[in-house]
């Protein structure tokens, strides 16, 4: 494989973002059920075709990687077909509307081991998260105790009429949207969760899906992730706090309306009292999408299982599904 060819299925905001961060590869075809949208995206790239039937994209010889950035209802069908066509797939989170759907995807990957599937948990590649990963791996925090996360936005007028408000298209509300990011990040640091408690509810928006999700997740060693996601947060917020026996990390902001991304490192001294404090800020924004894609190219080069994969998506969806059921949402009937 020389310069790999890429197909983008789904040319909305995420598809557009992906198209700009494909260094090392070449966008050859864009598919969207809305032809205008496909054309608009393709027009920015030389020799890039715009089509409305995604099926004709995945069988092309010049396509090596399929990026699936459709609405949630189409993630599995398209990814599955791409896998079966022998293409590597980068599917956006949550990768499916529920565990059952996702399992069909996982099953498909067992048929062709040479096909790699990465799930778009791009938050792992934000600069403050990478710094957190580095500090945790260095042992500076000691054994991890718990994680606290808050992630939310305030929606916009008519938010309850967008596709995310329709459970058939989305598979759920806030929990399956921003929630899976927080679950995945927490699990990335703490490991698998064996106890799932939580509560999802629709407080504000007139829609059948949840607008707030509260989570209390625990590993087998009783490490806790205490997480809240909301689309009635009013002031955009991203905050993740990671506590070790020796230090605390606090990641805030994701750039843009979420505020400058930064990470604070509070290091306890032997005598205790106020911690030593170092703060790194990232005012230039994140290049998480580019880093994530570059890592996928490297996965492919090395025939290496991607670090964010379908099992990670499954773990996040299992937590979401359990909480939806406990909260009386039945998206699965």
CB of 281 to a copy of itself, least distance (A): 4
Nearer to a copy of itself, 15 or 179 (CB): 179
Nearest by Cα to 107 from 76, 128, 130: 76
Q: What are 250's strand-pairing partners?
A: 241, 264
Q: Which two tokens stand for residue 86?
A: 């022998």
Nearer to a copy of itself, 36 or 284 (CB): 284
Residue 167 as a binder of a copy of itself (CB under 8 A): the answer is: no
DSSP string, 184-229: HHHHHHH---SEEEEEEE--SSSSSS-SEEEEEEE-TT--EEEEEE
Residue 189 as a binder of a copy of itself (CB under 8 A): the answer is: no
Residue 181 as a binder of a copy of itself (CB under 8 A): the answer is: no
Residue 278 as a binder of a copy of itself (CB under 8 A): the answer is: yes
Stretch that binds a copy of itself, among 50-58, 60-68, 232-240, 292-300 (CB under 8 A): 232-240
Residue 275 as a binder of a copy of itself (CB under 8 A): the answer is: yes
CB of 218 to a copy of itself, least distance (A): 7
Stretch that binds a copy of itself, among 3-11, 91-99, 155-163, 310-318 (CB under 8 A): 155-163
Determine which residue in the list 13, 272, 302, 333 makes contact with a copy of itself, applying CB under 8 A.
Answer: 272
What is d(CA 220, CA 277) in angstroms, rounded to the nearest whole number?
31
CB of 219 to a copy of itself, least distance (A): 12
Q: How many residues bind a copy of itself (CB under 8 A)?
A: 49
Please answer whether residues 272 and 281 qualify as being in contact, where contact means their C-beta atoms are separated by less than 8 angstroms. Answer: no
Determine which residue in the list 33, 218, 290, 294 makes contact with a copy of itself, applying CB under 8 A.
Answer: 218
Determine which residue in the list 17, 161, 206, 284 makes contact with a copy of itself, applying CB under 8 A.
Answer: 284
Residue 197 as a binder of a copy of itself (CB under 8 A): the answer is: yes
Show the beta-strand stretches assigned E in the chain: 5-9, 26-31, 49-51, 65-68, 88-92, 117-120, 144-152, 195-201, 212-218, 224-230, 237-244, 247-252, 261-267, 276-282
CA 17 centroid distance within chain: 14
Residue 289 as a binder of a copy of itself (CB under 8 A): the answer is: no
Q: What are 149's strand-pairing partners?
A: 227, 240
Please answer whether residues 53 and 32 qualify as being in contact, where contact means their C-beta atoms are separated by less than 8 angstroms. Answer: no
Nearest by Cα to 78 from 99, 59, 61, 100: 59
Determine which residue in the list 212, 219, 288, 309 makes contact with a copy of itself, applying CB under 8 A.
Answer: 212
What is d(CA 90, CA 97) in angstroms, rounded to the nearest whole number?
16
Q: Which two tokens stand for residue 61?
A: 């010889």
Residue 248 as a binder of a copy of itself (CB under 8 A): the answer is: yes
Residue 291 as a binder of a copy of itself (CB under 8 A): the answer is: no
| Contacts with a copy of itself, residue ranges (CB under 8 A) | 145-146, 148, 150, 154-157, 197-199, 201, 203-204, 212, 214, 216, 218, 222, 224, 226, 228, 230, 232-236, 243, 245, 247-248, 257, 262, 266, 268, 271-275, 277-284
């Amino acid at each position: 494989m020389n310069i790999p060819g890429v197909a983008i299925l789904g040319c909305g905001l995420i598809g557009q973002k992906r198209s700009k961060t494909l260094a090392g590869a070449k966008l050859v075809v864009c598919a969207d059920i809305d032809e205008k949208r496909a054309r608009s995206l393709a027009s920015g790239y030389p020799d890039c075709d715009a089509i409305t039937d995604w099926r004709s994209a995945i069988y092309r010889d010049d396509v090596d990687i399929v990026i699936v950035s459709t609405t949630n209802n189409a993630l599995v069908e398209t990814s599955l077909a791409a896998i079966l066509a022998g293409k590597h797939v980068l599917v956006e989170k949550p990768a499916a509307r529920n565990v059952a759907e996702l399992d069909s995807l996982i099953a498909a990957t067992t048929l062709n081991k040479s096909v790699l599937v990465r799930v778009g948990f791009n938050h792992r590649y934000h600069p403050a998260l990478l710094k957190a990963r580095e500090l945790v791996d260095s042992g500076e925090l000691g054994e991890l105790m718990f994680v606290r996360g808050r992630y939310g936005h305030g929606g916009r007028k008519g938010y309850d009429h967008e596709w995310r408000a329709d459970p058939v298209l989305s598979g759920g509300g806030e929990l399956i949207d921003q929630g899976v990011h927080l679950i995945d990040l927490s699990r990335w640091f703490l490991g698998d969760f064996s106890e799932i408690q939580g509560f999802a509810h629709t407080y504000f928006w007139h829609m059948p899906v949840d607008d707030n999700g509260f989570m209390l997740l625990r590993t087998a060693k009783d490490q806790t992730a205490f997480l809240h996601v909301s689309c009635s947060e009013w002031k955009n917020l991203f905050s993740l706090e990671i506590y070790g026996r020796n230090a605390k990390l606090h990641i805030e902001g994701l750039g843009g309306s979420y505020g400058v991304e930064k990470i604070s490192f509070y290091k306890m001294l032997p005598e205790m009292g106020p911690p030593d404090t170092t703060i790194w800020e990232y005012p230039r924004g994140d290049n998480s999408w580019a880093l994530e894609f570059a890592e996928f190219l490297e996965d492919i080069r090395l025939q290496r299982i991607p670090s964010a994969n379908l099992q990670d998506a499954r773990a996040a969806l299992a937590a979401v599904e359990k909480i939806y059921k406990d909260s009386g949402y039945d998206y699965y009937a």
